[in-house]
Amino acid sequence: MSESFGQSLPRVAAPLPGPRAAALVDALARTECPALTARRARRAESSGASHDPIVWARARGANVEDVDGNVFVDLTSGFGAAAVGHGHSRVVAAVHAQTERLLHALGDVHPSDVKVALLSRLAGLAPFPEARVILGISGADAVEAALKTAMLSTRRPGVLAFTGGYHGLSYGALAECGYQAAFRAPFVEQLGRHVTFAPYPAAGGAESLEQALAAVARAWDAAPLPVGAVLFEPAQGRGGVVFPPRGFLAGLAELTRERGALLIADEIFTGLGRCGATWLSVAEGVVPDLVVTGKALGGGMPVSACLGRREVMNAWGAPGGEAIHTSTFLGHPLACAAALATLEVMENEQLADRAVRVGEPFRDRLRDKLAAHACVRSVRGVGLLLGVELDGGARGLRLVRRLLERGYLVLPAGPDARVLSLTPPLSIETELLDGFAAALDEALTEDGP
């Protein structure tokens, strides 16, 4: 393995943050809303470990360098956005070329040629023929476009979502967010009351498949409004790297069809190769009516999309009058250029296949490596969406910090942070993954039983 920046093992000088980062973090605390800065103090209090951040200066491939010159291995791929690796040369070149040609167009009034090209490319990725596409900037944008589409198509305002589900924090998406009650509680009086939450089952849990589907049916029956859309993640990422039991998604799709609602697959985290297929839901035998994608799509640039069946999207009607769903930066040329390059990289480098070829053997090696630690409850994953479940959230937060000090960036997942979420670039070298396994083994030993 080359030790060049991009696929390098960590190089960290303790303590963290270094002096330059510490000065910037102090400036951050003076200027950033405390909703963001103060959470680190709360984490430190609950875990007994410092949670002051490092400050990023540059990134390439699987590596991040901070302002003090420390090099880290990023096992978050920037919240999943850098699935092709940070600063991939093809993506950077595409964005650079686009800056010299066109920075901004007129959205839905006079689109850019690169927007038209991206729409065509995305329609070709849809799991149904003659797809229609709505572009957005964030995952939450795309989720809200799907919900609007379902409302127009079914004329039923109710939405069935799932406990543990995460779809973004803008108001439209937050209403469907079952991840944490604390996210919704301060704003509940301003959120729509149209959402009903059903329990999301975990593979290997005590419930049978029949019981899990019956619980969904009971929640549906209790909905205060007629349900027109079922919003689900094929696997819950932020919710704790939770995979449903085999057959659950197919049963959910059957129930949705029987009751005349639309099925919306939130593939923002799971799609575009992360789990070894373009769409994890389709790999599990389900063809939804609407598919939502984002994160990895832009290769580091902000872009998202809602893909829908033609007959469903036709509910928006023929163009006329003012557009009722648009934005200033709709189909931004730089983001579209980046997305086209990203999709080309994914195909040319066969990153979906690589996620399985690299990720699943690593999952098994990690499971063996950690078998001696009683506090590790499970190691699970599909492709390069992996989770290490621990015996408590305080331990999870401590380990996030201990791993950072060893040069590995990971994030906690699940409502109580007991899961270490691993979503590295799909191009990551196995040596870096094995280095992480050794670092986690060491950190667990240091943390104690």
Which pLDDT tens digit goes with each residue over 404-435? 999 999 999 999 999 999 999 999 999 999 99
What value does the CA radius of gyration of the chain take, rounded to a whole number of Å?
22
Query: Which of 134, 66, 60, 50 shows the shortest CA–CA distance to 92?
Result: 60
CA atoms within 13 A on the CB side of 411: 21
pLDDT for the residue 44? 60
414 within domain boundaries: no
CB-CB contact of 403 with 440 (8 Å): yes
Q: What is the distance between the alpha carbons of residues 411 and 217, in angstroms, rounded to a whole number? A: 33
Q: Is 447 exposed, middle or buried (0-12, 13-18, 19+ CB in 10 A)?
A: middle
CB-CB contact of 200 with 165 (8 Å): yes
376 within domain boundaries: no
CB atoms within 10 A of CB 356: 16
Domains held by the chain: number: 1
pLDDT for the residue 331? 94
Q: Which long-range contacts (CB under 8 A, 24 or more apart) does 441-446 make?
A: 441/369, 441/370, 441/373, 442/406, 443/399, 443/402, 443/403, 443/406, 444/370, 444/373, 444/375, 444/376, 444/399, 445/373, 446/402
H-run or E-run covering 232:
strand 227-232
CB-CB contact of 95 with 301 (8 Å): yes
Which residues contact residue 287 at a Cβ distance below 8 angstroms, ignoring those fewer than 6 apart?
A: 127, 128, 253, 281
408 within domain boundaries: no
343 within domain boundaries: no
Segments in the chain below pLDDT 50 = 1-2
As given in the structure block, the two tokens for residue 134 are 């709505």
387 within domain boundaries: no
CB atoms within 10 A of CB 358: 20
DSSP track, 354-365? HHHHHHHHHHHH
pLDDT for the residue 181? 87
pLDDT for the residue 34? 83
393 within domain boundaries: no
The CATH number given to whatever domain includes residue 142 is 3.40.640.10
pLDDT for the residue 1? 41
183 within domain boundaries: yes
Write out the residue range of the structural domain in which residue 170 sits.
Answer: 125-330
pLDDT for the residue 159? 98
368 within domain boundaries: no
C-alpha distance from residue 377 to each of 334, 368, 380 (Å): 44, 13, 10
Which residues contact residue 130 at a Cβ distance below 8 angstroms, ignoring those fewer than 6 apart?
A: 123, 310
Q: What is the distance between the alpha carbons of residues 362 and 164, in angstroms, rounded to a whole number? A: 26
Sort residue 429 into left (φ over 0), alpha (ψ -120 to 50) or beta. Answer: beta
